[in-house]
A and B are shown apart, each in its own frame.
Chain A
Amino acid sequence: QVQLVESGGGVVQPGRSLKLSCAASGFIFSSYGMHWVRQASGKGLEWVAVIAYDGNEKYYTDSVKGRFTISRDNSKNTLYLQMNSLRDEDTAVYYCAKSEGAVAGTFEYWGQGTLVTVSS
């Protein structure tokens, strides 16, 4: 069965960096696009970034462009999100999600999330 396990969350000061990981299993990781989606406490879902199956296409929501970088290592079945210049408003639970397709499609499966708290 598909499993997505996020890690790397924690408490970080504004302006600092954090790198999230998502370990995938139960499917051919190198064939599917992968997303990061976040959710602030008590708020709705916000799409953050997507990476194509081969890493050659990457898209970001406007609020994180230039600060966050999505990447993947298909040899390790792992997705990453490097977050730099963190702001208070980046505080949220970050979910990784498997796309149904090579890039686009549904958010077919979700991990349980990892909490990022940006606070001084």
Chain B
Amino acid sequence: SYVLTQPPSVSVAPGKTASITCGGNNIGSKNVHWYQQKPGQAPVLVISYNGDRPSGIPERFSGSNSGNTATLTINRVEAGDEADYYCQLWDGSSDPPVFGGGTRLTVL
């Protein structure tokens, strides 16, 4: 089945930009979604279809997808952005839905 690869951790200072990558074979041809999960809470969809922001998600969150890498970008990072972030895709084909291993974002 399809494999999504994320770095285990990313650290960033407040006010700076965080980039979290999600690698996969020709992932640029697929639709990637991103979820934020804070400790003790359920995941929340923050980016859908590579770059769309659901209602209520700050404009600081954006996404891109090309080649073998999808990227979640968080501008002007705040302490409240500290969380685990997961990429995910499923197009309803024979492969099952798959999540990346998750990236812990630490705000220094």
* Contact call B48/A112, Cβ cutoff below 8 A: no
Inside 8 A of A27's CB, which chain B residues have their CB?
Answer: none
Number of A-B contacts defined by CB within 8 Å: 53
Whether A95 touches B48, Cβ cut-off 8 Å, given contacts A44-B99, A45-B99, is: no
Among B45, B92, B102, the residue within 8 A (CB) of A107 is B45
**Separation of A110 and B99 alpha carbons in the complex (Å):** 15
Asked if A50 CB lies within 8 Å of chain B CBs, one says yes
**Separation of A47 and B95 alpha carbons in the complex (Å):** 12
**Separation of A112 and B92 alpha carbons in the complex (Å):** 25
Asked if B96 CB lies within 8 Å of chain A CBs, one says yes
Whether A47 touches B86, Cβ cut-off 8 Å, given contacts A107-B33, A110-B42, A110-B43, is: no
Among A46, A47, A104, A113, the residue within 8 A (CB) of B92 is A104
* Contact call A44/B92, Cβ cutoff below 8 A: no
Among A45, A50, A59, A105, the residue within 8 A (CB) of B43 is A45
Inside 8 A of A111's CB, which chain B residues have their CB?
Answer: 42
Among A104, A105, A108, A112, the residue within 8 A (CB) of B42 is A112
**Separation of A112 and B44 alpha carbons in the complex (Å):** 11
Q: Interface size (A, Cβ < 8 Å)? A: 21
With both chains docked as a complex, state the minimum distance between the C-beta of B33 and any C-beta of chain A, in angstroms.
5
* Contact call B45/A46, Cβ cutoff below 8 A: no
Asked if A100 CB lies within 8 Å of chain B CBs, one says yes
- The B-contacting residues of A in range 69-120, CB under 8 angstroms, are 95, 100, 103-113
CB<8 Å pairs between A and B, sample of 20: A35-B97, A44-B86, A45-B35, A45-B88, A46-B99, A47-B90, A47-B96, A47-B97, A47-B99, A50-B97, A59-B96, A103-B92, A104-B90, A104-B92, A105-B90, A106-B88, A107-B45, A110-B44, A111-B42, A113-B42
Chain B residues near A (Cβ < 8 Å): 33, 35, 37, 41-45, 48-49, 54, 84, 86, 88, 90-92, 96-102
6 shortest interchain CB distances as A-B pairs: A104-B92, A110-B42, A47-B97, A44-B102, A45-B99, A106-B48
